[in-house]
Amino acid sequence: MLIVAAGRGHRAGGGTPKQYRRLDSRTVLSLTLDHAIGSQDVDYCRVVIHRDDEDLYKNALSDWKKLSKLLPPVYGGAERQDSVRLGLESLVDLDPSIVFIHDAARPFVTSQLLSKLRHEAEREDWDGCLPGLPVVDTLKKAGADRQVETTVDRTNIWRAQTPQTFKFAQILAAHRAAEGRALTDDVAVAEASGLKIKVIDGDARNIKLTTPEDFEEAKRLLADLEGRSSDHGTAMTRVGFGFDVHQFEPGSEIILCGVPIPFEQKLKGHSDADAGLHAITDAILGAIGEGDIGDHFPPTDDQWKDAPSSLFLERARDLVTEKGGAIVHVDLTLICERPKIKPHREAMRQSIAETLELEIGSVSVKATTTEKLGFTGRQEGLAAQAVATVRLP
């Protein structure tokens, strides 16, 4: 990963370049590195710094212990584009296949997002990809006097984030070819060389710190993620409980937690009958006071017939995000005699973690039986119960 930290960041205020300012006790740069280096998809990081910032860089990482993946910094150039090109040149001897190019002032990138970006960038049919957020506000074009001239069609318009991720050789060649031109970001450089770039869903929490207001928002987000109060109020920890039951019917596989399991029966239901994801969805909805899964996805609605239950869980996740909150942990217990859950448990944890954009350590999946008592004991179906912990501002 190449982390660009050579800018001055004047709009953020505070005098010190924003990447070296503190969010409570941590510098922005050390938080960014924490999240980058903590990902298994990042083999090493190189930071591009301003040549006047060596002392700031050393001080920013003076109490930082995760040095094994961190390469020595290199100096940037007059413009961001120059800094990226010089950073890429410094990686030539390492010959990476894929490179993430990330802004130092985005300290909340997740390992789930990095994993998705790497997967797409490694595909043969794309030269790279970027995370983006679809524009939801109405867009207006105004003249120099600020009189509205027209409404801009927002269809297929995205707000670009970083890390923008590329096949290394292609983006290096594109930056060399673009030297001296003024392009807005690395994807613009790629576009100028005719590279094929895919946009994937970004993360609303992956904010860029640009203005003083952004720093205030980052403090709230950091306090929320760490489960403590901020200067702006107290983060509430709320817990929700979910329970679901589905009976068996003839079939060839069961879908549980998004994982297909070969079996001589399947679960009966309007959607894919994924009892595990249904229970987690209800637990999250309960934690934020948003009813239950039937309120949002009624079984009488044909559009949800045979639908993957990951759609339901994604909606619950997004409702938490819209409230400014964060899902902290989910704990699921599956209750059945058969099929055996243990061989599939890690795949289930990974599937849930990816859908909820959590670290896998924040997802627990357990299994138990009822000692052959009741409907699960008679193997007429299975049950799931879940607990979700959510923090809200």
**What pLDDT is stored for residue 118 in this prediction?**
93
**What pairs with residue 260 in β-bridges?**
255
The per-residue pLDDT of the chain, averaged, comes to 90
Instruction: Say whether pLDDT at 169 is over 80.
Output: yes
pLDDT in the model for residue 231:
45
CA distance 275 to 384: 6
Domain with CATH 3.30.1330.50 in the chain: 236-392
pLDDT in tens, 266-323: 999 888 999 999 999 999 999 999 999 988 888 888 888 889 999 999 999 999 988 8
Q: Give the pLDDT confidence of 216-255 residue by residue, as tens digits.
A: 888 888 876 665 544 444 567 899 999 999 999 999 999 9
pLDDT computed for residue 24 by the predictor: 73
All CATH 3.90.550.10 domain ranges of the chain, comma separated, are 2-225
Residues 88-98: what's their mean pLDDT? 96
Using CA atoms, how far apart are residues 364 and 197, in angstroms rounded to an integer? 36
Strand partners, 141: 150
Task: Give the pairing of strands 46-49 and 2-5.
Answer: parallel
Is the domain spanning 236-392 CATH 3.40.50.620? The answer is: no
pLDDT in tens, 18-57: 999 988 778 899 899 988 887 888 999 999 999 999 999 9
- For the domain made up of 2-225, the CATH class stated in words is alpha beta
Residue 151 has a pLDDT of 95
Distances (CA, A) of 107 to 18, 90, 190, 243, 287: 11, 23, 24, 36, 27
Six token digits for residue 360: 């896998």
Contacts 24+ apart (CB under 8 A), 351-354: 351/257, 351/258, 351/259, 351/310, 352/257, 352/258, 352/276, 352/277, 352/280, 352/313, 353/112, 354/112, 354/115
Q: Looking at residue 19, what is its pLDDT?
A: 93
Four-point Cα dihedral 43, 356, 345, 383, nearest 10? 180
Q: What band does 324 get if pLDDT is binned at 50, 70 and 90?
A: confident
pLDDT at site 10? 54
